[in-house]
Amino acid sequence: MTTAMNQLTLYFQFPFVRYAMIVGVLIALCSSLLGVTLVLKRFSFIGDGLSHVAFGAIAIATALNLTNSFLLVLPVTIISAILLLRTGQNTKIKGDAAIAMISVGALAIGYLIMNLFAGSSNLAGDVCATLFGSTSILTLTMTEVWLCVILSALVIAVFVLFYHKIFSVTFDEDFATATGTNAKTYNLILAVIIAVIIVLAINLVGTLLIAALVVFPAMSAMRVFKSFKSVTICSVGVSVVCAALGILISILAGTPVGSTIVAADIAGFIIFSAFGFIMRR
């Protein structure tokens, strides 16, 4: 135990480890905040679909040799999020089919573009890094950390300010609209926030594993807690603890960061499920 502590103290003297911890915890916090709403709105897979769109955008940015891929990836993801959330209402293509089409399409086109245009000699490695996150969390620059801190602060502020409206729109969109809350606006706000979180989270867990950050903490919290407020708070707590644990374990054991965090989330879900089962007896 002491050796592990010493090792951690040693590692935390490196700024990139501290950056990884800060960014990891912030992303976990934001994704779980929105996770509850997404799960309840039956939109769990939107996170997954959007992350694939982001993968496609990253591929294009790489092919174009953009120095800051963020400038392309964020707007593209936001627009896709708006389009996807819109498909829930009165369209010929149903929501789940639309998500499947967009996500697989973006994945294929992204890989194709990477193959055709990228000059990198280690293509498989690049693709794997984008899909599973691998090392990008450990190579964050100061600017990226600040960007992440500012965007996270914005996400949290919007969520807290519109908390009750988000609740009302999630619980009963018709009632909210009928009594004068513009549900469409709030769906739009949700779409934008989700897109921002997805783009941030690509650094942490890669594009394939983002849905886990959104879904697992919310599902864990819903096993045990029964009001919207307590579920949201618990979900944030679970997510932050799992992300911190995952990062620490991955540092000590040398495992990939993204999948270790998701493994911690899965463990959390199992523990909460067992707890919920015992409580109900």
Partner 1 sequence: MPQLSCQDLCLGYEGKAVVSDLTFGVCVGDYLCIVGENGSGKSTLMKTILKLMAPISGQVLTGDGLAANEIGYLPQQTAVQKDFPASVREVVRAGCLNRRGMRPFYNKSEKRIADDNMKKLGIDSIAKRCYRELSGGQQQRALLARALCATRKILLLDEPAAGLDPKASAEMYDLIMALNSGGTTIIMISHDIAASVKYASHILHIGSQSALFFGTKADYLGSEIGRIYAGLGGEGI
Q: Report d(CA 243, CA 221) in Å as an integer.
A: 15
94 binds partner 1 (CB under 8 A): no
Among 11, 16, 111, 167, binds partner 1 (CB under 8 A): 167
161 binds partner 1 (CB under 8 A): yes
Name the residue nearer to partner 1 (CB basis): 11 or 163.
163
277 binds partner 1 (CB under 8 A): no
11 binds partner 1 (CB under 8 A): no
Among 229, 270, 274, 275, binds partner 1 (CB under 8 A): 229
- Stretch of residues binding partner 1 (CB under 8 A), selected from 96-104, 158-166, 189-197, 265-273: 158-166
2 binds partner 1 (CB under 8 A): no
Among 12, 171, 275, 277, binds partner 1 (CB under 8 A): 171
- Stretch of residues binding partner 1 (CB under 8 A), selected from 79-87, 171-179, 245-253, 269-277: 171-179
Name the residue nearer to partner 1 (CB basis): 16 or 167.
167
Binding site for partner 1 (CB under 8 A): 40-42, 160-165, 167-168, 170-172, 174-181, 222, 225-231
